[in-house]
């Protein structure tokens, strides 16, 4: 057992920013816009660091796929307590079309290379809301998966995961190595304290090419058009119930 955990961290547009669609409808404006670590990825990092503090695992490795700026996101993970980082360099057109399938192939290759015991990811990213990477990574590795985790505990070499599902909570026990995807209530991520930010400077970030991992980044998905959601129309007030019924009939609702 290597005792090593891989945590995926994605650089996304900050949750507080007002999103604007590019004039050519090819995507959203990202230039000069504030970016930060995906909130669910923060929760994933926190869980990994907690497991290390409980001495259940030995090393936390933060992974991010993207251009040079992805290193900032990895540094934040290091400042939260990850031990080292891996920056998988993806730029230009490849980065624009990078999706869960490509990322999960990368993570699967890294998991084998690093002999990881556990992969923790955020359940989804707040930019594409795909909610696929965790599941695909597990399938590619043929590992068990505990998705939408709101509680994770290790019992020997098994993992007990409490999942948030539509009907409530489901508890499963899975073998390791496994993939876990973090849901909102799993934990409250710590702040990067100033001393930890200083310590993070000394931690290593390795640079890797997807080609070196034998991963083909070709996308099977082509984005045709991006539009803003329709503007919300103002409502209409009516005086009486009869008026209401009349209006509903007029607009063909009843």
Partner 1 sequence: MSKICRLCQAGWRSRSTSSAADMVSEQSGAMGISFPPLQTFSEEESMMREAVKKYAQERIAPFVSKMDENSAMDEEVLKSLFEQGLMGIEIDPEYGGTGSTFFSSILVIEELAKVDPSVSVLCDIQNTLINTLISNLGTPAQKEQYLTRLSTDMIGSFCLSEAESGSDAFALKTRADKHKDYYIINGSKMWISNAEHAGVFLVMANVDPSAGYRGITCFIVDGDTEGLEICKKENKLGLRASSTCPLNFDNVKVPEKNILGQIGHGYKYAIGMLNEGRIGIAAQMLGLAQGCFDHAIPYTRQRVQFGKRIFDFQGMQHQIAHVATQIEAARLLTYNAARLKEAGRPFIKEACMAKYFAAEVATLTTSKCIEWMGGVGFTKDYPIEKYYRDCKIGTIYEGTTNIQLSTMAKFIDKEYDH
Q: What is the closest distance, in whole angstroms, from the C-beta atom of residue 199 to partner 1 in the complex?
A: 8
Could you tell me if 89 and 67 are in contact, meaning their C-beta atoms sit under 8 angstroms apart?
Answer: yes
- Assess contact for 35 and 69: CB atoms under 8 A: yes
Q: φ, ψ for residue 119 (rounded to 5)?
A: -120, 125
* Residue given tokens 């991010």 in the structure block: 64
Count of residues that bind partner 1 according to CB under 8 A = 15
Whichever of 130 and 192 has its CB closer to partner 1, that residue is 192
Contact assessment for residue 92 and residue 133, using Cβ atoms and an 8 Å cutoff: no
Residue 53 in the binding site for partner 1 (CB under 8 A): no
Select from 53, 72, 228, 243 the one that contacts partner 1 (CB under 8 A). Answer: 72
Q: How many helices (H) and strands (E) does the chain have?
A: 7, 11
Cβ contact 51:3 at 8 Å: no
Question: Min. distance of Cβ 197 from partner 1 in angstroms?
Answer: 5
Confirm or reject binding of residue 18 to partner 1 (CB under 8 A).
Answer: no
**CB under 8 A: which stretch of 23-31, 69-77, 205-213, 243-251 binds partner 1?**
69-77
Question: Which residues ranging from 24 to 43 are in contact with partner 1 (CB under 8 A)?
Answer: 36
**Using an 8 Å Cβ cutoff, are 44 and 7 in contact?**
yes
Question: How far apart are alpha carbons 26 and 223 in whole angstroms?
Answer: 8
**Given 23, 191, 204, 237, the residue binding partner 1 (CB under 8 A):** 191
Q: How far is the CB of 68 from partner 1 (least distance, A)?
A: 12
Q: Is 49 in the site for partner 1 (CB under 8 A)?
A: no
CB-wise, 191 or 242, nearer to partner 1?
Answer: 191
Asked whether position 193 contacts partner 1 by CB under 8 A, the answer is yes
What's the CA gap between 106 and 84, in Å, rounded?
17
Lay out the site mask for partner 1 across 79-98 (x = CB under 8 A, - = otherwise): x-------------------
Determine, following the binding rule CB under 8 A, whether residue 197 of this chain makes contact with partner 1.
yes
Which residues are CB-neighbours of 112 under 8 A, at least 6 positions away?
141
Both tokens of 126, joined, read 């707040």
Place of tokens 């068990």: 144
Residue 231 or 240 having the CB closest to partner 1: 231
Distance, CA of 199 to CA of 193 (rounded, Å) = 10
Beta carbon of residue 69, minimum distance to partner 1 (angstroms, whole number): 11
- Sites of contact with partner 1 (CB under 8 A): 36, 72, 75-76, 79, 191-198, 200-201
């Amino acid at each position: 057992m290597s005792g090593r955990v891989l945590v995926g961290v994605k650089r996304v547009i900050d949750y507080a920013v007002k999103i604007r669609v590019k004039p050519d409808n090819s995507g959203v404006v990202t230039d000069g816009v504030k970016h930060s670590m995906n909130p669910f990825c923060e929760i994933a990092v926190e869980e990994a660091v907690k497991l290390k503090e409980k001495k259940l695992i030995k090393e936390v490795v933060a992974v991010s796929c993207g251009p040079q700026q992805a290193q900032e996101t990895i540094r934040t993970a290091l400042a939260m307590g990850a031990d080292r980082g891996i920056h998988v360099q993806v730029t230009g057109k490849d980065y624009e079309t990078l999706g869960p399938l490509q990322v999960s192939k990368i993570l699967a290759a890294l998991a084998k290379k690093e002999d990881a015991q556990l992969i923790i990811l955020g359940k989804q990213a707040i930019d594409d809301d795909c909610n696929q990477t965790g599941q695909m990574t597990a399938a590619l590795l043929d590992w068990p998966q505990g998705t939408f985790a709101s509680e994770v505990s290790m019992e020997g070499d098994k993992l007990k995961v409490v999942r948030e599902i539509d009907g409530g909570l489901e508890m499963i026990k899975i073998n390791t190595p496994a993939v876990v995807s973090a849901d909102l209530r799993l934990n409250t991520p710590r702040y990067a304290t100033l001393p930890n930010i200083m310590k993070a400077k000394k931690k290593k970030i390795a640079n890797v090419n997807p080609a070196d991992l034998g991963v083909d980044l070709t996308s099977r998905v082509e984005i045709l058009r991006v539009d803003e959601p329709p503007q919300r129309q103002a409502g209409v007030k009516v005086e009486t119930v009869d008026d209401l019924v009349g209006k509903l009939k007029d607009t063909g609702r009843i």
